[in-house]
Amino acid sequence: MKKRLSRLYFYLVLLFLYAPILTLVVLSFNNNKSRAKWGGFSLRWYNELFHNATMMKALWITVSVALIAALISTVIGTVSAIALHKCRPRIRKALLDVTYVPMMNSDIVTGVSLMLLFAFLRIERGFLTLLLSHITFCIPYVILAILPKLYGINMSVYEAALDLGATPFKAYTRILIPEIMPGIISGFLMSITLSIDDFVISFFNTGHGVQNISILVNSSKKVGINPANYALSALMFGAVIIILLIMNFKDSKRSNVQ
Amino acid sequence: MSEVNANNIIDLIDISKTFGDTDVLLNFNLHIKKNEFLTLLGPSGCGKTTTLRIIGGFEKPDSGQVLYHGEDIQDIPPNKRNFNTVFQKYSLFPHMNIFENIAFGLRIKKLPEAEIRKKVTWALDLVNLSGFEKRKPDSLSGGQQQRIAIARAIVCEPEMLLFDEPLGALDLKLRQEMQHELKKLQRSLGITFVYVTHDQEEALTMSDTIVVMNEGRIQQAGTPVDIYNEPKNRFVARFIGESNIIDGTMLEDFKAQFAGREFICVDSGFGKNEEVDVVIRPEDIKLVPPDDGMLRGTVTSVFFKGVHYEMTVQQGDINWLVQSTVSENVGDTVGINIYPNDIHIMRKSEGDSFTQE
């Protein structure tokens, strides 16, 4: 009885968590513009999505910002994590606290302050500022993903590489980077999801008609949401699920080996 | 005292090194001859590993010189030094298989693939692990990993191999096996081995020269036999094997007084009536019937140690540690005999600083 109750509770939690998304997915296949009526199964909105130039452009911007931002922040984050790891503990602690501020900050503060900075520097808002802002908020997460891997490494492998004739650069690229690769990959994937996810910071730091999906959806809210958005959201949800599964699969494969 | 000399591969001259407030090495001098098996032996924190790391280039001394064939190499980074190290924690590269681990140094040197293959095969054969090429390091036992680490260092054909307590994590039997193999390897390769350990037995088994260190200074350097039979001070006598160290007086050459009577000994060159430390190894003390002994005491404890019995014999305020294959009974009165060859006299003042002979 107790077991059944706890199981019921678990399913209820799942239901509450996923009911909105489930609604969205169901509606994305609804052959009717109304949210209240089921007009039968159809791929109409998916078709419309792929023929809607504005939405495709927004999707393109979202994806390209996510990929470029993830790539750049992964590179910067990896190098920073390695440097932090080499720092003396007290300095490292101080630098890490500074690094985590953007993470703890509410998005609106980060968003507004970046906007002000760009205005102060007279950088016109558009794709570049959008990209820069995304890189900014992704870096701490990359560092956070990589540092524990560095702590876990037996640093004498680095010395062993030097001992065998490798320059410090080669010792890093051939020995240490492969060792922390799982951290780098999860930092990269996390950056992609964070970037796709972001609305508030993007909202303050884009301009000149550069819209990513979250901004597009927000602006179309006033005129009534095009159900093609449901299709888009369903696709993005699917993409995130796939990324999560990949990350989980990689982790479990690693822990199986150990 | 030996000086910088053409036969030396490494000379450390007046090296000092401080970590925080602790002096790890103090005006340290060490001369390593070509092709010798030299062991740095001492308790943890005595500076032996730091010495090794200075030779390897992983640590810079605060002052002093590191000479390699007479040339200062302090500014040469570890990757440009022609020595290889076998680390305490094996330090194999976990994401590479055994072949790639051993080939690492050769690939850095950009040798042709066929030559790399040949050398790796040779090195694996040398450590008796042929056929392990495709395995990953974490699928190997500790002893096997250690052999791979040795193979990885040897394959680079260094002029000198440095070992940082490489057998510390292995069990006793495996450790003894590896000791013999290392010694054999050193003879057959004909290269210099510098070995760091805190295990005196390991040092005695393998070394040509043992350098006993404590608190950043050399206490004594010499052959294993010298170090064991003629320790220069209390520290060395205590650290190498077990010993009875007793206060005594040197009456004249070849005549010492301790434990309440005079003994004939083989030491000379001390001042008349000089206060000295007398060292007698427990296996050199002979227990005899009470009336036949030079001294007389009471057995207070007996322990069976496998090869021998370890007994304590109380005589006045001295507790003699005795090892014998024949056991006595607790409470028995026994005679104690000590022969001239088994008495070793040390100066009281010795114990501060020694240079290598």
Domain-located, residue B1: no
Asked if residue B46 and residue B194 are part of one domain, the reply reads yes
pLDDT at B10: 87
Cβ within 8 Å, pair B93-A166: no
CA distance B297 to B322: 12
How far are the Cα atoms of A72, A164, A191, A248, B91 from residue A196, in angstroms, in the given order? 15, 44, 9, 20, 41
Contacts of A167 in chain B (CB under 8 A): 79
> What does the pLDDT average to over B14-25?
84
DSSP label at residue B138? G
Asked if residue B216 and residue B113 are part of one domain, the reply reads yes
pLDDT at B4: 63
* C-beta separation of B156 from B84 below 8 A: yes
pLDDT at A254: 59
A163 interfacial to chain B (CB closer than 8 Å): yes
Asked if residue B307 and residue B163 are part of one domain, the reply reads no
pLDDT tops 60 at residue A98: yes
Asked if residue B227 and residue B306 are part of one domain, the reply reads no
Closest CA to B42 of B250, B235, B280: B235
Asked if residue B155 and residue B15 are part of one domain, the reply reads yes
Domain-located, residue B351: no
Contacts of A89 in chain B (CB under 8 A): none
pLDDT at B3: 63
pLDDT at A74: 93
pLDDT tops 80 at residue B95: yes
Closest CA to B206 of B38, B10, B84, B30: B38
| Secondary structure, 3-state, B179-234 | HHHHHHHHHHHCCEEEEEECCHHHHHHHCCEEEEEECCEEEEEECHHHHHHCCCCH
pLDDT at B326: 87
The listed range with the strongest mean pLDDT (A88-97, B93-102, B230-239) is: B93-102
> What is the three-class DSSP state of B177?
helix
- Smallest CA–CA distance from B78 into chain A, residue: A163
State the count of interchain CB pairs (< 8 A) between A and B.
62
Contacts of A163 in chain B (CB under 8 A): 56, 78-79, 84-85, 87, 153
pLDDT at B352: 45
Answer with the residue of higher pLDDT: B44 or A32. Answer: B44
Domain-located, residue B268: no
Domain-located, residue B253: no
Asked if residue B290 and residue B229 are part of one domain, the reply reads no
Counting the structural domains of chain B, the total is 2
Cβ within 8 Å, pair B91-A175: no
**What angle (nearest 5°) sits at the alpha carbon of residue B149, between those of residues B147 and B150?**
65
Poorest-confidence range of A80-89, A121-130, A142-151, B46-55?
Answer: A121-130
> Average pLDDT, whole number, for chain A?
83
Token reading at B192: 């210099």
A160 interfacial to chain B (CB closer than 8 Å): yes
Cβ within 8 Å, pair B104-A161: yes
Answer with the residue of higher pLDDT: B92 or A244. Answer: B92
pLDDT tops 50 at residue A55: yes
Domain interval for residue B322: 286-337
Write the pLDDT tens digit of every residue in A111-155.
888 888 888 888 777 788 888 888 988 889 999 889 888 888 878
CATH assignment at residue B307 = 2.40.50.140
A23 interfacial to chain B (CB closer than 8 Å): no
Contacts of A256 in chain B (CB under 8 A): none
> What does the pLDDT average to over B322-348?
88
Cβ within 8 Å, pair A162-B58: yes
Q: Give the DSSP letter string of B13-76.
A: EEEEEEETTEEEEEEEEEEEETT-EEEEE-STTSSHHHHHHHHHTSS--SEEEEEETTEE-TTS
Cβ within 8 Å, pair B87-A156: yes
pLDDT at B13: 86
Domain-located, residue B350: no
B98 pLDDT band, cuts 50/70/90, is very high
Asked if residue B305 and residue B225 are part of one domain, the reply reads no
* C-beta separation of B266 from B254 below 8 A: yes
Distance from CA of B89 to the nearest CA of A (A): 8
- Smallest CA–CA distance from B153 into chain A, residue: A164
A75 pLDDT band, cuts 50/70/90, is very high
pLDDT at A71: 93
Domain-located, residue B271: no
Q: Give the DSSP letter string of B253-319.
A: TTEEEETTEEEE-S---PPTTEEEEEEE-GGGPEEE-GGG-SEEEEEEEEEE-SSSEEEEEEETTEE
| Helix-helix angle A44-51:A53-86, to 10 degrees | 80
> What does the pLDDT average to over A185-207?
83
pLDDT tops 50 at residue A258: no
Asked if residue B62 and residue B210 are part of one domain, the reply reads yes
Which domains are present in chain A? 62-225 (1.10.3720.10)
Asked if residue B160 and residue B44 are part of one domain, the reply reads yes
Asked if residue B108 and residue B45 are part of one domain, the reply reads yes
pLDDT tops 80 at residue B1: no
Q: Give the DSSP letter string of chain A.
A: -HHHHHHHHHHHHHHHHHHHHHHHHHHHTBSSS-SS----B--HHHHHHHH-HHHHHHHHHHHHHHHHHHHHHHHHHHHHHHHHHHS-HHHHHHHHHHHHHHHHS-HHHHHHHHHHHHHHTTPPPSHHHHHHHHHHHHHHHHHHHHHHHHHHS-THHHHHHHHTT--HHHIIIIIIHHHHHHHHHHHHHHHHHHHHH--HHHHHS--TT---HHHHHHHHTTT---THHHHHHHHHHHHHHHHHHHHHHHHHHHHHH-
Cβ within 8 Å, pair A163-B84: yes
Asked if residue B125 and residue B207 are part of one domain, the reply reads yes
CATH assignment at residue B129 = 3.40.50.300
Cβ within 8 Å, pair A179-B94: yes
Domain-located, residue B106: yes
Cβ within 8 Å, pair B79-A165: yes
Asked if residue B217 and residue B130 are part of one domain, the reply reads yes
A73 pLDDT band, cuts 50/70/90, is very high
pLDDT at A50: 79
Cβ within 8 Å, pair A159-B152: no
Domain-located, residue B280: no
**Facing A160 at nearest CB: one of B91, B109, B138:** B91
Query: pLDDT exceeding 90 applies to what percent of chain A?
Result: 7
**Facing B93 at nearest CB: one of A162, A168, A175:** A175
pLDDT at A68: 93
ipTM greater than cut 0.90: no
Cβ within 8 Å, pair B89-A161: no
Distance from CA of B10 to the nearest CA of A (A): 17
